[in-house]
Amino acid sequence: MKRRDFISTAAGSSLILGGASLLSGCSTDEKNEKFRLKTNEELQLPRNKEIECYDFILSDLDEAIRLMPETSMAAGRANKRTAYGLKARVALQRMYVYRFLYA
């Protein structure tokens, strides 16, 4: 595997994992600061609306789909189909939330 392919696969995999972990609770920090020690006040970020979280996750998954290879080299590794599958599940959940909670 070429270095460029490896890097894009790793980046796509991290976007998939990040999207999956945000489903539990979302507070997106638009500053994208590096990890650093924070005070208690800085840790008390206001939560985003649930729809905004789903939109953020879907945009990450779109980027993962762009970066991931069609098939993976090893069994059990994420690939483009994995990202499409997760995107479908997130989009269905987003539609449910929007339809029943915000409509």
Tens digit of each residue's pLDDT (9 = 90 or more) over 68-79: 888 877 888 888
What is the band of 87 on the pLDDT scale with cuts at 50, 70, 90?
A: very high
For 15, the token pair is 């976007």
Arithmetic mean of pLDDT, 6-35:
58
What is the band of 19 on the pLDDT scale with cuts at 50, 70, 90?
A: low
What's the start-to-end Cα distance of the chain, in Å? 48
* pLDDT on residue 39: 73
Alpha-carbon span 84 to 90, nearest angstrom:
10
Q: 37 or 55: which carries more pLDDT confidence?
A: 55
Alpha-carbon span 58 to 90, nearest angstrom:
7
pTM to 2 decimals? 0.61
Alpha-carbon span 97 to 69, nearest angstrom:
31
